Amino acid sequence: MPIVWIDPGHGGRDSGATGNGLLEKDVVLALSVAIKRKLEAEYDGVQVLMSRDRDVFLELSERTNAANRSGADILVSIHCNAGGGNGGFESFRYTSVSSTTVNLHDALHAEIMKALAPFNVIDRGVKSQNLHMLRESRMPAVLTENLFIDVASDANKLKNPDVINALVNGHVNGIARHLGLTRKGGTPQMDKANVIAYGKEIQNGLIINNTVYVPLRALAEASGDRVAWDNQTKTATVTKPQ
């Protein structure tokens, strides 16, 4: 069973960013709880653990130590941004990471921006930075900065339940896509796979539950083989040409 660790930033005496009537610690806790509930309610075989589920202060080392002990498969640290400017959404991974972390990061960022598309949120991009939660976590880890508390236009979006739902859906869809989770009573999350076989591009490749699938005929023909199909016995036979 995949284990997802959700880390709501700040908490307790550490309010995080403040502005426009919002406290970062409250916004990210609400987001995190909703992400956990939606993931576990809608997908089979996934467990979501959290650094905190209430307004308490935790040191960064407490968060990563607990996550590492849990054996979690991935970690997502949830934050809001500050610093003025035009606002927007951005996400981070550590400066030196595995391809699995890159895949998680890309899936999360893409799905969140897709969900936010109706709300004209600025895409500030996929970035890397030396942050404790990303550096000290032993599993693939991504930190999301969910709009700017101190930018009035972003703060107004964060007060909109539809935007909050979009942020929740984006995180859930990105996690499910990366882990290949299966919806309850539904089909697995699928993503397109780019496949090159014997120097030729194979069309219609798919990633399902972290496994790449390609059409047998296209793969065989790329290597110069032949495929015969027996519809009665439902048997495909691959042979070398005579």
State whether the Cα torsion 141-96-112-153 is positive or negative: positive
Look up 145 and say whether it is catalytic.
yes
Per the CB < 8 A criterion, the answer to whether 28 and 79 are in contact is yes
Of 24, 90, 111, 145, which residue is the catalytic one?
A: 145
* Among 117, 110, 123, 126, residue whose Cα is nearest residue 178: 110
Cβ contacts of 122-125, under 8 Å, gap ≥ 24:
122/86, 122/87, 122/88, 122/89, 123/88, 123/89, 123/90, 124/88, 124/89, 124/90, 125/90
- For the chain, the straight-line distance linking the first and the last C-alpha, in angstroms and rounded, comes to 47
Task: Provide the β-strand partners of residue 47.
Answer: 3
Q: How far is CA 119 from CA 145, 189, 213, in A?
A: 16, 25, 35
Per the CB < 8 A criterion, the answer to whether 148 and 83 are in contact is yes
User: Which residues does the annotation mark as catalytic?
Assistant: 145
